[in-house]
Amino acid sequence: MAHVTRNSALQDLLDLFPAPAYLEVGVNRGMTFHALAATTKVAVDPKFDFSERPEPAPGCTVAYHEVTSDAYFGTIATAADRFDVIYLDGLHTFEQTLRDLINAVDFLAPDGVIVIDDVRPNSYPASLPVPAEVRATRAMLKMEKDTSWMGDVYKLVFFVETFFQQFSYATIANNHGQLVMWRQRRAKVVPRAIDIFARLQFFHCATERPVFRIMPFEDILALVKAARAGEDSAQDTI
């Protein structure tokens, strides 16, 4: 199974649309944002970690908003804004990413796709939501060389399974772990009490692995294409 970068996965999804509009929340150094080709590109981050903004490609409109995602969705985005692909890679906490997801749905095109980064932490320290705790735990475990941080965004997958029934979803197996969501309702839902999400822990990523619906990106892309063609989802049999 060939490795798929975040950039190539996002570009393949953008290429499904004739004139794609792209929104990225959590741009940081802009390595992903600047590498992607789309007709409309919107970058949102409280502090861009780059000084130069590349010239847009011919026919491409680019907008930069150096604000929090809450400010963008609450005061800047308009009712006319609709995005074909929305990439959420902001603060790596369940609460903030959930808020971003709920807001993003309002600005998603009817057959659009949402991609959420870092839903599969690669270690216990990487799954902690507070950076200071991550550093302290790494030091205790002598894991300082591992600088990855996913936070507790993995909890969002459980939330999506229970509360976003109008979306189908899957997690990319052949990269660091990105959740892909597209509008296609699921017949079955797994009921969960709202307070359970605060109690989810890193080990649930392993003991409840089927929740993540992990599969190769090419299979996910095929499901998204099938949904856009109006075919029935296979989500409830995965």
For residue 17, the domain's CATH number is: 3.40.50.150
What share of residues in the chain are helix, strand, coil (percent, to 5)?
35, 20, 45
Tokens at residue 27, please? Answer: 């741009």
What residue ranges in the chain does DSSP mark as E strands?
Answer: 21-25, 40-44, 61-65, 83-88, 108-116, 167-172, 179-183, 214-215
- The answer to whether residue 66 sits within a structural domain is yes
Asked if residue 131 has pLDDT above 90, the reply is no
**Total count of domains within the chain:** 1
pLDDT for residue 232:
62
Q: At what angle do helices 94-105 and 155-163 cross, to 10 degrees?
A: 40
Could you tell me the pTM of the whole model?
Answer: 0.94
Residue 234 forms part of a structural domain: no
232 vs 134 pLDDT, higher one: 134
d(CA 198, CA 211): 17
How many angstroms separate the Cα of 152 from the Cα of each of 10, 13, 85, 99, 161? 22, 25, 23, 14, 16
Instruction: Give CA–CA dist 134/147, Å, rounded.
Output: 9
Query: How high does pLDDT run on average in the chain?
Result: 93
In-domain check, residue 238: no
The verdict on residue 132 lying in a domain is yes
Q: Which of these, 66, 84, 50, 94, lies nearest to 183 by C-alpha position?
A: 84
The answer to whether residue 218 is domain-embedded is yes
pLDDT tens digit sequence for 23-72: 999 999 989 999 999 999 999 999 999 988 888 888 899 999 999 999 99
Give 74's DSSP letter.
I
d(C-alpha 181, C-alpha 213), whole Å: 11
| Segment among 11-15, 69-73, 229-233 with least mean pLDDT | 229-233
pLDDT band at 236 (very low <50, low <70, confident <90, very high): low
Question: What angle (nearest 5°) sits at the alpha carbon of residue 215, between those of residues 84 and 6?
Answer: 50
The pLDDT of residue 130: 85
pLDDT tens digits for range 149-189: 889 999 999 999 999 999 999 999 999 889 999 999 999 99
Asked whether residue 236 is assigned to any structural domain, the reply reads no
User: Range of 107's domain?
Assistant: 6-227
- Is residue 232 one of the residues assigned to a domain? no
Question: Three-state SS for 237?
Answer: helix
Q: pLDDT digits over 87-128, tens only?
A: 999 988 999 999 999 999 999 999 999 999 999 999 898 899
Provide the pLDDT for residue 42. 98
At 144, is the pLDDT very low, low, confident or very high (cuts 50, 70, 90)?
A: confident
User: Residue 237's pLDDT is what?
Assistant: 46
| Residue 233 maps to a domain | no
